[in-house]
A = this chain, B = another copy of it.
Amino acid sequence: MFADKMILRIPGPTPIPPRVQQAMNQPMIGHRSGQFSELFARTAKRLKPYFGTSQDVFILAGSGTSALEMSVVNTLQPGEEAVILVSGAFGERFAKICERYGVIAHRLEVPWGKAVTPDLLQAFLSDKPQVKAVFATYCETSTGVLNPIRELAQVVRQHSDALFIVDAVSCLGAVACEMDAWGVDIVVTGSQKAFMLPTGLAFLAASERAWQVIDQKKPLAFYLDLKAYRKSLAENTTPYTPAVSLVFGLDEVCSMLEEEGLPAIIKRHELMRDMTRAAMRALNVPLMAEDAYASPTVTSCDPQGAFDAEELRKVLRTRHNVVIAGGQQHLKGKIFRIGHMGYCEPLDVLQVIAALELSLRQIGAPVELGAGVKAAQEVLFAHV
């Protein structure tokens, strides 16, 4: 087993393509140089299609959570009210951030593994006309659920004056996002998922409607003050020191995404989702998300006691050098999650399924070797 040939199939960070790695190896340059300004302005513009927006996209040195917080501290004031759609660990994080700043958080919770449906949201909003913002998670990484953002946006638009703010960290760049057309006000994401970069950058775009609110508010923080980023971006720079080497990489990532084209990227991820799900069904491993709300980027499986998810992960890691994710919070130790996004192709999915089958047998779980692979192959064959 080659130690450096680890197969990383978690829902982020995802593997770095060699040409992106190479781009990040460029010699360091000054972050206030003309060379960096040109690079920065170009990459910021190249991100727009993945958000589906004509608005500015801001690039922040920080993790996804810093961008979630940025969407809160620029749009709300203490004492104001917000609705948070909580379908897992990351929805709950939005609520915690709001509460840290004295924002009253009304949680619309669904069981982990379920999506928040438009009907649920409409009912929940009906007696809360005072709400200033609705926060949703596009892909809930902890469960593999893709919430129906387009439909949820419609509900917010028709039944409320609130801003609609979306955490798209673990799916943007791999799924459709039409921020402007759908009426989403703020979308945030991170670099280490479908954008195939190391962790360390976060991206945010805001609608005109959001800017009207932001312009009237005093920002509640400093490093995350969006108005400072807007002022700097107009001059092709950042208010504070940007993560230069990651921006080198981002520029190359944009080239890769443009070469493949967003429609093809979206199809590739849907295909990998369908292959993974077909394999799990063939192996009798229960899936957490329903078909209608299954994320194209991550699949969660709940063995429900048929075998030990942690034992499976351990054998995959130690005997096959394949890394998949476990559960978070109350699902820790109970479920496993397979990431299939970014620098990942259908054949990579076949590989991880094959290793998973071997590992299932190695931990003594009932499994027919090849059954999952065959089911996934059938899905792939029908597509190519």
Interface residues of A (CB under 8 A from B): 4, 6, 8, 10, 12-16, 21, 24-33, 61-66, 69, 73, 96-97, 100-101, 190, 192, 198-200, 219, 221-225, 239-246, 323, 325
Contact = CB atoms under 8 A, between A and B. Distances in A.
Contacts of A219: 100
Given A6-B29, A8-B29, A62 B223 contact: yes
B222 A100 contact: yes
Given A31-B199, A198-B243, 12 more contacts: A13-B30, A15-B28, A16-B28, A61-B63, A61-B66, A63-B240, A65-B240, A65-B241, A66-B66, A69-B223, A100-B222, A199-B241
Counting every copy of the chain, the complex holds 2
Contacts of A27: 4, 6, 8, 15-16
The 7 closest A-B pairs by CB, nearest first: A200-B243, A198-B245, A65-B240, A63-B241, A66-B223, A100-B222, A97-B222
Given A15-B27, A26-B4, A65 B242 contact: no
Given A198-B244, A200-B246, A245-B200, A14 B26 contact: no
Contact of A62 (B8, B13, B62, B100): B62
Contacts of A61: 61-63, 66, 199-200
Contact of A65 (B10, B24, B101, B222): B222
B325 A241 contact: no
A81 to B, nearest CB: 18
A248 to B, nearest CB: 9
Contact of A325 (B30, B97, B240, B244): B30
A229 to B, nearest CB: 12
A97 B26 CA distance: 33
A4 B244 CA distance: 16
A4 B325 CA distance: 40
B240 A198 contact: no
A29 B325 CA distance: 12
Contacts of A8: 27-30
Given A61-B61, A65-B240, A221 B100 contact: yes
A103 to B, nearest CB: 11
B16 A30 contact: no
A69 to B, nearest CB: 5
Contacts of A4: 26-27
Chain B CB count within 10 A is highest, among A4, A63, A192, A239, for A63
A13 B225 CA distance: 23
Contacts of A244: 13, 192, 198-199
Nearest to A96: B222
A30 B15 contact: no
